[in-house]
Structure 1
Amino acid sequence: MIMFHAVLMVFVALWGSVAPQNISFVRGSSPCSGSLELTRSQYRRRFIRKINEWGLVPVAAVCRQLNCGAALSTHTVGRSRQEPGGMPSTTVVQKFNCSEYIRLEKGTQCSGILEIRSNLGNKSWSAVCKEDFDELTAEVACRELSCGAPSSIQEIVYEERQAPSLTTMFHCQDRESALRNCLSFTGKVCTSKKAVNLTCSEPNNVRLVGGKSGCRGTLEMRQGVEWRGLRKLPRGFWWAGRVCSQLNCGSVISVGLRRSNSPTTKWAIVRDCDESSLADCYFYDEYSSINVEITCSDATRLVNGTDTCSGRLQVKPNLEWLSVCAEGFTQQSAQVACRELGCGVLSAMTRVFTEQIETPTWKSNFHCRGNESSLKGCRKSPRERTSCFPGEAVWLCCSDPDDLRLVGGTSRCNGRVQLKHDDEWRDLVLFLADRSASTFICHWLSCGSPISLVAREKSTPSIWVMYNSCVQSDASLRDCVTTFDQPWDTGIEIYCSDSVRLINETSACSGMLGVKSNGSWFSVCEKDLTQQNAEVFCRELGCGPPSSQQLALHGNPGEEVVAQNIHCQGNESVLLDCQWLTSARDECSSSQSVTLTCFDNVRLSGAKSRCAGTLEMAIRGEWRRVIADGPWDRNSTAVLCEQLGCGSAVSESTIWDNRSRPIWEISTSCIHTTSALSDCVVVKRIRESSESQEVICSGLLAEPNISLSSSAFGFSNVEQKRFYLLLGSNFTVTCSAKPQYQGGFFQLLLNDSGTVQNYTTPAVNHSANFLFYAADHTHQGDYRCFYHNNVFSHNFSSQSQTLSLILQASVKELIIRLVIVLLGMMLQITAFAFYTKAALQRP
């Protein structure tokens, strides 16, 4: 690359030795665009190397040598061709884009003497006369040069060779993208002999093209010297507001996606980006026909507000933004301003004091009837005073035009997602939707926790788009939506719980418990979490039965913890079906709320064990097979087995059959970061598949049972698995297992004071008996059964609880001990009798 750079610079420097007619652009849209070609009598050559990395300086030299205007951009394109032998190959060609009409001389890319070529057939360039060259024209010129807003307009005496014979006069309105689009006429002589020396700010890395002005159109961004469109804008209004500000436009009005006739290479953001400038994000190439379109207001904006529809009102009559004085500004004018900004109707209008440097200087009053589309359409008259005293500006708060709802469900907390903007309801599509997106929507609607997020067939002519990466950044609803005026065949349905939610949740089925009463949310008091209530809480949350509950300090600051006096039978489907006592609620004396954990609705089915089979998940009671959006590896299986309480991972495989059925799709990258698989469900489109995920965990075999029997005298503690037998007795230890799989064998281990004895026997009818005769002290200790079997070409084992055996003396020894005890007692009684008789006979 360095060598080629040097070669090209030498080539540009020595260009004068080459006849100008031998240098040209080919395959371009104009004589000043295309790929560079050098023609000699004997050969033809195009420069096809990529020079994008080293800026517009050499491109400007190329444009100048071809008598074109300013260097606007350069980019690379790939062309496929067929090599000898049928092998395809791709050639990288460098495309140049120079202006035909405008350039800056004796300066830099964005500053210098402004020159134009009035007649494209004429190769001569002439300076622009300073007379009647205003700020609006300068704004358009800087935009055409791909530079920022104009920072200064100076005058300079032009040289004779640059003198325009007839001066072209421009009348621009700041909406045009190029000077040639402005109203102009030629004929006036430049009497001042002074040309325009224009200085624009540094080049913008974003622009809006193809619209009626530089404040609306298709969004393009420059990386290096190459301009490309963007395929998506995840934080739509949030990013668009920064684009409008960077282009010195007003407030953002709309953000949309539109499909073009042919796909081209676009920039795509590779990851979530919270930088203040798009240029600071990381991008990659993507081939797409989708374009982002942004509409900014041309000369009206709200600043320093809490959202895009509130703030101090400013207008831009020329190049400078001026605050509007509150004095004389009417309700009708405020309504027009809200309408112009796409912000619904006026909610409030007030006055705000401005600093000296922000003192309003707009010198006219607006006289609006209220039906105009913009403030520019209102009649204006000069104010009596030229400044606001004591510096009060208009502060507007317009109603948020966006409204969200769920339709077609059994309540306002479930159904198809729709969003209203400008009085139009459209279905909302969540790209790469996951639990974070559904949580965002449920909380926005003041509903409970999300139960499910599913795709349904629903044909709609146009939609709203929301990316889950936006809702994860705590943006507002308006910041996250983008319009897409194309037919769509899938709608998103979200089901939220009505009266139960989990606060500070660690997973979809675990978190601090909250209930809704009379429209307000409260944390749940300890006294309200009975087993029956917990069953209903978990059921309404779309989870399995409760697994644990514990006390915790208040998890949500400012949220009251009160006793709700809830009485459920345990079989109700939702909390609202339970009995709520009408007595006054008591405060929680312990000032503690409850954390609830429910089991996840995940299972392995189709095998004879709960720890092996086809992975399935239930959402709102609907069981479906589960497939992954990426490779399912051993680590994923290990996480699943642990969550199911099935030990460690043994194997995993993907199976296909002949029947396609609805499935749930989960993100494998999510599995390792949560304790609930339901957190990882991803909704893209309606999915049906013949694929299934087969998993085998080490806990395949059920726990065997161990028992002891004997005809000899003894007693036992069944709950503690502790047996007492007499020495010399015969006894049998029985090991048995559930009838899952045929075959296998049982292993009985006896641990007696550190010494282990091992006995094995085949399993017959899923059990085995171990007989012991004339028990002595070597048979005393802890017994445990192990069941071993080879299933699915893997060896599995499971173990029973521990059974403890304690041996007592034999019957003969007990009789002798009893006789000795009785004789001793008789001797004591006799001695006591003699002692008593002697004591009584004493005088």
Structure 2
Amino acid sequence: MALLFFLILAFCTGPGLLESSSRVRLVGGRHRCEGRVEVERDGQWGTVCDDGWDKKDVEVVCRELGCGAATGTPSGTLYKPLAEKEQKILIQEVSCGGMESKLIHCDQVEDVFDCSHKEDAGAMCKIPVSVRLVGGPGRCKGRVEVKYQEQWGTVCKAGWNLSAAKVVCRQLGCGRAILTQRSCNKDTQGEGPIWLSEVSCSGQEGSLEDCPTGLWGKNNCTHDEDTWVECEDPFDLRLVGGDTHCSGRLEVLHKGEWGSVCDDGWGEKEEKVVCKQLGCGESILLSAKARRNFGLGSGRIWLDDVHCSGKEQSLEQCRHRFWGYHNCNHKEDVAMICLEKTPKT
């Protein structure tokens, strides 16, 4: 009985589903994560009919190829050159749940009889972009490099602007992008491939892969035009002098040095952001005398005239004067108490 069931399954699903491995590729696109879908059977590459083709099917193809999220389900004659007439259409009526690791694991019909190459299925996926800054003082300053096809390469500064730098800084978990005229010199220029040029970001993207770019590896740049980016060091803050991490004098970390915050313009909205960032509860209103119980700071006063809406996730996102510019002394240091959150039971 078990053997009979196995033979019925093989007849209904076709041999592809029962194979232990398969190969898939995208042909004719702008990069390896976009193009006409082709699968291999018995050493021959064939196309996929777009009957039933949808985003869940593309999600599986993107996952199998190690690409990013699915962004489109193109089909037909979009990708050139078109498939040769003699190239077979190997499968149709593909139906994936979206969570499969390979296209071969999806339901599919392998007896193709009513499709032509005008109905070839395609896939559009994001390119997973790894980014780093090289050659600078620390991981938040340096030459921009991206990883593509397992190789690091540089980014041409043609089309580059501060908005693109903001995206890189955000992706790296660094602070704000610093407007700088610095360029790479002979000591900081890259070598090897120049992967990207004409990067166009709005500044709101979460990753460089979300920004429109030129074709990967297609440009007329030299390493004299390698892009250099400087971000502020990762933003951190703490409350010191109190009994818990939710109470004390406020200090922020900048350029590797802790410094205090002036209370000019400081209020409930600003305290709300700090308490949230520290993972504490709501703030408690303190008198000026009570604030001094935590002692006076020493050294740098990093921030002044801080203004928050209360919706920010980090004090870094609030408006303030340039770092280190103030008209305060340490008698005006911000100090505060947040309630400690009670663990849920």
Query: Considering the TM-score relative to the shorter chain, is it more than 0.5?
Result: no
Larger radius of gyration: 1
Instruction: Give the TM-score, by structure 1 length.
Output: 0.21
